Structure 1
Amino acid sequence: MLFPTHLLVAALLGRVSRLSPLWLVVGTAVPDVVDKPLGAVGVTALYHSIGHSALLVVVALPLALSGRIGLSVAAGWALHLLLDTVHVVLNGRPGDAVFLFWPVVTPTDPLALPPGSFFVYYLWSPSFFLEVALWLTAVGLLARHVTGGEYASSRDRVD
């Protein structure tokens, strides 16, 4: 998924849960903030490596147990991994979900595109349409919130 969509879904989750929206967004940003620069400068060969490894549960679990902020960060991080896993499976590359077990397992033929090239590749894929649906839902919820939802329409009605 694209970075802004990760942030959007985390913010939406924060609105419907007891978790902190700010710290959910921070947590969901961490995998890309860590991995994209490492891949871009050649420290790792993939753009899904350290930050996208589910093996980091050894860090996430104590963080989640440290309180509400830690739980929100850990949940955001897990949400990012879930969304990326859905993305690769939905786009017909379920074998690439092994990025979750980096460095123990790596994809045999990874899609190692830099972020700009990835965006062009990604357009019109099945996962792209899922992201469009998520953004349209968010815009609809925002519009409903701004206009006051059903309350505003019934309040403004003249009988």
Structure 2
Amino acid sequence: MLFPTHLLAAALLGRVSRLSPLWLVVGTAFPDVVDRPLASVGVTALYHSIGHSALLVVVALPLALSGRTGLSAAAGWALHLLLDTVHVVLNGRPGDAVFLLWPVLTPTDPLALPPGSFFVYYLWSPSFFLEVALWLTTAGLLARHATREGRAGSRDRVD
């Protein structure tokens, strides 16, 4: 999934849960903020490595148990991993979901494209349409909310 969609999903989860939207966004940004620079400079060969490894649960679990902030950050991180897993499976590459077990396992033929090339590859894939639907649904909900707020505001005015 594209980075902005991860942030959107975290913000939406923050709206419908008691979790902190800010820390959900921080947690969901974490995997890409860690892994993209490492892969870009050649420290790791994959864009899904350290931050995307479910083996980090040894760090995430104590964080989640530390309170609402930690739980929100850990939930954001888990949401990111879930969305990326859905992405690779939906796009016909279920074997690539082994990124969750990095460094123990790595995809046999990883899609190691830099961000710009990945975006071009990603256009018109099944996961791309899922993201478009998520963004359009969010836009529709925001428009509906703004319309309701506008109507409520006009009823409150005294002429």
User: TM class by shorter-chain length?
Assistant: over 0.9
Q: Which residue of 2 aligns with 1:100?
A: 100
1:148 aligns with 2:148: yes
Q: Which residue of 2 aligns with 1:80?
A: 80
Q: Which residue of 2 aligns with 1:127?
A: 127
2-structure distance, mates of 1:74, 1:147: 34
2-structure distance, mates of 1:140, 1:71: 29
Q: Which residue of 1 aligns with 2:37?
A: 37
2-structure distance, mates of 1:26, 1:79: 11
1-structure distance, mates of 2:54, 2:33: 16
The TM-score with structure 1 as length reference comes to: 0.94
1:144 Cα shift?
Answer: 1.5
The TM-score with structure 2 as length reference comes to: 0.94
1:147 Cα shift?
Answer: 1.6
Opposite residue 11 of structure 2, the aligned amino acid is A
For structure 1, the residue ranges without an aligned partner over 5 or more in a row are: none
2-structure distance, mates of 1:27, 1:141: 24
1-structure distance, mates of 2:38, 2:11: 26
Opposite residue 49 of structure 1, the aligned amino acid is S
**Which 4+ residue blocks in structure 1 deviate beyond 4 angstroms?**
none
1-structure distance, mates of 2:69, 2:106: 31
Q: % of aligned pairs identical?
A: 90
2-structure distance, mates of 1:144, 1:51: 36
Opposite residue 46 of structure 1, the aligned amino acid is L
1:66 Cα shift?
Answer: 0.3
1:146 Cα shift?
Answer: 1.4
1-structure distance, mates of 2:131, 2:27: 19
Aligned residues: 156
SS in 2 for 1:52: coil
